[in-house]
Amino acid sequence: MTDRPIRKIACIGEVMAELFVTGAGSAALNVAGDTYNTAVYLARLLAGQDVEVSYVTVLGQDSFSERAVAQMRAEGISTDHVQRHDSRIIGLYAIETDAAGERSFTYWRSESAARTLFEAARNIDLSDFDLVFLSGITLAILPPESRANVMGALDRFRRDGGLVAYDSNHRPRLWESAAVAQEVNAQMWARTDIALPSVDDEMLIYGERTEQEVLTRIKAHGLTRGALKRGPLGPLGLSGLGAPPSFNLITKVVDTTAAGDSFNAGFLSQIALGRGESQALVTGHRIASQVIQAKGAIVPVDLG
């Protein structure tokens, strides 16, 4: 398939109210969520280019949902595909980090409006877009019928020439079982054009022990476009063409929140601009390296 120009990108998923614990008895209120974080950094990186970034989700009528919409618009993200639910509200989570910058989460999302994404009664039309991006979290929060609707929508989208990018971003507690997580992720990899997995997530999902096992399975799906994120080792391009770029080790890690999300944005921004794998890897790593040196999911970065 010959790629058509990428002029419209959709990031699909759940945006949440975020309580970032800053110390004993205090917290900062933000708006975040894995695919939303990617949308923010994508919009920043593509500002001034002929590419529109949209967020596709369902929000409530509550004040925190209003805050999320206002924040999207402030970041230059189109809200034309944000739907509203009459009775459900935005999800909420709290995040804490340890001395090494590793995160722990507490969620209040069982009644999140985003869980109604792709219900049969909702008309979510992907035909406006050239590239859509979603994650394992997007799928994990949905009931089985809605997941099936996602797969059908992606099949139609790809038949019409659209590109699908996917990150298996794994939160075990969101899935009904390990077996369901494996099955749904396999279904998604079969529908993916640009793969953006993390080696740790893939090992956790499938029980693999080595990077090579992960790569072998991913490539068995015919995936040769994208990157395997490997934390401090730096990303590895999936094409297998040419020597991979070298990356400096980041020693000052403050908070790993949104490391993968921001990498995804850097990588996809370069694909949207028609640039090659090496440039996409370098840009993704550069943005993620800045994000992990500050607290929070969405932070100021040098866009270069």
Q: What are the residue numbers of the active site?
A: 261
Would you tell me how many other CB atoms lie within 10 Å of the CB of residue 183? Answer: 13
Category of 172 on φ-ψ map: left (φ > 0), alpha (ψ -120 to 50) or beta: alpha
- ∠ Cα 90 93 98 (to 5°): 160
Q: For residues 199 and 228, is the Cβ–Cβ distance under 8 A?
A: yes
Six-digit token pair at 59?
A: 């929000």
Residues listed for the chain: 304
Distance separating alpha carbons of residues 150 and 63, to the nearest angstrom: 28
Distance separating alpha carbons of residues 92 and 82, to the nearest angstrom: 18
Distance separating alpha carbons of residues 163 and 157, to the nearest angstrom: 8
String of b and e for 78-95 (b: at least 16 CB within 10 Å)? Answer: bbebbeebeebbbbbbeb
Bridge partners, residue 205, by sequence: none
